[in-house]
Structure 1
Amino acid sequence: MTMTSEDVIAILGPVDETLIADVLATGANQTELAEAFAWVSSDEALMSERRPLPTGRIALLIDLLVSDDEELD
């Protein structure tokens, strides 16, 4: 299922249009975005669960989210 701008905002909260466009361009779905957001928000918790490091679209989404977060700092 194709993700919409509203889906991105529902998962990430209010973000700028550029980030929304970048996320949508990855072709990721809501589950992948939610997992990427979880990694960005609490990677230590996921590591302690012994979850494998993300790859593919999830890793790409993490890069986008971290990059956007660094710009805000």
Structure 2
Amino acid sequence: MTRNDIISVLGPVDEAVIADIALTGASLEELREAFAWIGADEALVNEGHPLPDARVARLIEILEVPEDEDGPRAPAAQGFGE
């Protein structure tokens, strides 16, 4: 997955986040899935989607806001798929 692929899903994002995502070896589809889970995890579970696999779960960890930080590492998932 390229830097541009990552930005196409997340929008402008910190270079460290891009590097962390690239190091996972995840596919573009896995990144899209992780981004969807961040914005609508309860809805996806309610719709019967299987829980994320290990690689998608790692992407979610990278993208979620640590509790001790103020702002998101990546943009909110609103507008996903538009």
TM-score range, shorter chain: 0.7 to 0.9
| Count of residue correspondences | 69
Deviations 1:22-48 (A, max 9, x none): 000000010000000000011111011
- Give the CA deviation at 1:56: 1.5
CA distance in 2, matches of 1:41, 1:13: 15
Q: What TM-score do you get using the length of structure 2 for normalisation?
A: 0.78
Deviates further, 9-18 or 47-56: 47-56
Q: What TM-score do you get using the length of structure 1 for normalisation?
A: 0.87
Residue 41 of structure 1 corresponds to: 39
Q: Percent of counterpart pairs with the same letter?
A: 54
**Unaligned segments of structure 2, at least 5 residues:** 73-82
Runs of 4+ in 1 over 3 A off after TM superposition: none
**Unaligned segments of structure 1, at least 5 residues:** none
